[in-house]
């Protein structure tokens, strides 16, 4: 389990782009279950959409990727420094099944599918009240800034 203070030590993201509030479960090298509380105060709701606020799908994918990064760093047993980045490398099999709205609690579940040549592949989904809202396969890689 990780609280927001531990998450901020692992992820380079800061407000308004930290999209994981808490890690509920983590099994090193296997899976992670995290949550994002979706509040009406999120800055993107001002324009997406003013008459019916909906969390942008790309931000749900970003929340899944941040969860995957937390699992990756935990698996490797490292705390990244300011020069360590966990980059998106690809997304496959994305499905959006229902909108995510203010007041929802987004449960983010990702599992390691494989790691090969420094490329991580995760499979997972986001759900609200036990119903899957988004599913995806996400590829990521860890790089230090001097490699980029």
Catalytic residues: 48
Q: Which of 29, 13, 12, 3 is nearest to 122 (CA)?
A: 29
Residue 6, φ and ψ in degrees, nearest 5? -70, -40
Beta strands 131-144; 31-37: pairing state: unpaired
CB 133 within 8 A of CB 100: yes
Give the rounded distance of the alpha carbon of 118 from its chain centre.
19
CB 70 within 8 A of CB 34: yes
Q: Which of 68, 56, 129, 69 is nearest to 96 (CA)?
A: 56
């Amino acid at each position: 389990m990780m609280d927001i203070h531990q998450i901020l030590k692992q992820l380079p993201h800061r407000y308004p782009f930290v999209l994981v509030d808490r890690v509920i479960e983590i099994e090193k090298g296997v899976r992670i279950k995290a949550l994002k509380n979706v509040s009406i105060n999120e800055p993107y709701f001002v324009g997406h959409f003013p008459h019916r606020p909906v969390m942008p799908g790309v931000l749900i994918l970003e929340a899944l990727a941040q969860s995957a990064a937390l699992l990756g760093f935990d698996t490797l047993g490292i705390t990244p420094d300011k020069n360590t980045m966990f980059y998106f490398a690809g997304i496959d099999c994305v499905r959006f099944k229902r909108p995510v709205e203010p007041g929802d609690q987004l449960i983010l579940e990702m599992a390691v599918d494989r790691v090969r040549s420094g490329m991580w592949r995760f499979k997972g989904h986001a759900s609200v009240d036990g119903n899957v809202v988004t599913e995806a396969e996400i590829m990521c890689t860890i790089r230090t800034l001097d490699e980029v």
